[in-house]
Amino acid sequence: MITTDKTAKEIFFEVMANPQRVPFGFGNKAVLINVDPQKAYTRTDLYNTAYETDPNQLDYVNQLARGFRKLGWPVVWTHVAFLDSAEDAGVWGTRTDTPDSLQNIKYGSDRAAFDERVEIEQGDVVYTKRMPSAFFETPLQSLLVWHQVDTVIVTGGSTSGCIRATGVDSLSRGYRTIVPMECVADKHESYHYANLTDLHLKYADVMNVADVLAWLEARASDKA
């Protein structure tokens, strides 16, 4: 095992500056999966469970969603919510029981509601999930097969939790997987950058959102 005194952030930017892997790259058609941009995780002014890495994150997510709709490509939003009994949280709901505990994000609650800043439009797909990956026990896989996509672009949070789980599941299902770095967030920069590094080295292409937007614009121009 290599040891170092460098921070996770320093290691991440070193990796990004010195490519060690051939990129998966973009395919022919993509889906945008926006993981849990709900108040429990975005409203730092309301909830201890919320976090922010880039203050423009949700604006970038909205820009991506507009680009996808322009192409007629699927836009997916997920959020977490549980029954009042929390029995659908399973063992995940057994570690703590405070107002901030995961299983206390109830259906219909303010914590479960999408942040008012995200632009969810008619035709977008909304799934409720109960575990980290957006693929786990949701109809997402069937949606991607129907739309014949080969590329998955993931935004949201947290980088070390649901983004990582979704990215690993996406790669495991054979999809080219892209993570725009300004579009994901976590509670602590150490978790955030360590998991971006791991995703980039193993499971996904971590990219600047500007490059993803440029690809969407180029595809729209080709289609015009």
pLDDT tens digits for range 134-154: 999 999 999 999 999 999 999
Confidence (pLDDT) at 66: 98
Cβ contact 60:179 at 8 Å: no
31 is written with which tokens?
A: 């889906």
Domain boundaries, the chain: 26-223
Q: Which two tokens stand for residue 217?
A: 């614009």
Task: Give mean pLDDT, residues 204-224.
Answer: 94
Question: What are 107-122's pLDDT values in tens digits?
Answer: 999 999 999 999 999 9
Q: Which of the residues 162, 181, 194, 206 is marked catalytic?
A: 162
> Within a 10 A sphere around the Cβ of 135, how many other Cβ atoms?
24
Residue 124 clears pLDDT 80, i.e. is over it: yes
Place of tokens 């180029």: 218
pLDDT at 224 over 80: no
Confidence class of residue 179 from pLDDT cuts 50, 70 and 90? very high
User: Is 183 known to be catalytic?
Assistant: no
Overall average pLDDT of the 39-66 stretch: 98
Nearest to 54 by CA among 189, 191, 196, 195: 189
Residue 179 backbone dihedrals phi, psi, to 5 degrees: -120, 105
pLDDT in tens, 153-169: 999 999 999 999 999 99
Fold of 26-223: Rossmann fold (3.40.50)
Which tokens belong to 121? 């439009």
For 26-45, the pLDDT digits (tens) are 999 999 999 999 999 999 99
Task: Determine the pLDDT at residue 223.
Answer: 78
Residue 222 has pLDDT above 90, yes or no: no
